[in-house]
Amino acid sequence: LARAHIAALGWTGRSAGAEVFNLGTGAGVSVLEAVAAFERASGGAIPLAIRPRRPGDVAACYADPAKAGRVLGWRAGQGLEAICASAWAWARANPEGFRRHSAEIGGP
């Protein structure tokens, strides 16, 4: 995602108005697939409570990144497994989350 933002900054000003870019792999991932990937990354089980879909819950939601590829030359560089492994590694290295980093730059 950082690479997409950098590409967008380099592209800024080439359009008279605002532009919207969807960022993602273009492939949907179910909640159960995401949970399983985090379980593999963490080596632990994540407790689940499977319930019926609530009114208003969408059946599927995923991004079509074709415009980002066409205009910015961007495509997702990592899949679900790598993203979960990276997020888990960051969480382990930063047990206080963003609180410590926020304090370092004078935030709350």
The verdict on 7 and 54 lying in the same domain is: no
- Cα separation, 21 vs 63, in Å, equals 9
Please give the pLDDT value at position 104.
63
Same domain, 2 and 53: no
pTM above 0.75, yes or no: no
Q: 39 and 17: one domain?
A: no
Region of 38 (left: φ > 0; alpha: ψ -120 to 50; beta: rest) is alpha
Do residues 21 and 4 lie in contact, with contact meaning Cβ atoms separated by under 8 Å? yes
55/83 same-domain check? yes
- Nearest-angstrom CA–CA distance, 80 and 68: 19
**Distance of alpha carbon 93 from its chain centroid, rounded?**
19
Distance between CA 80 and CA 29 in Å, rounded? 8
Q: Count up the domains in the chain and report the number.
A: 2
Shared-domain flag, residues 106 and 84? yes
What is residue 64's predicted lDDT score, i.e. its pLDDT? 94
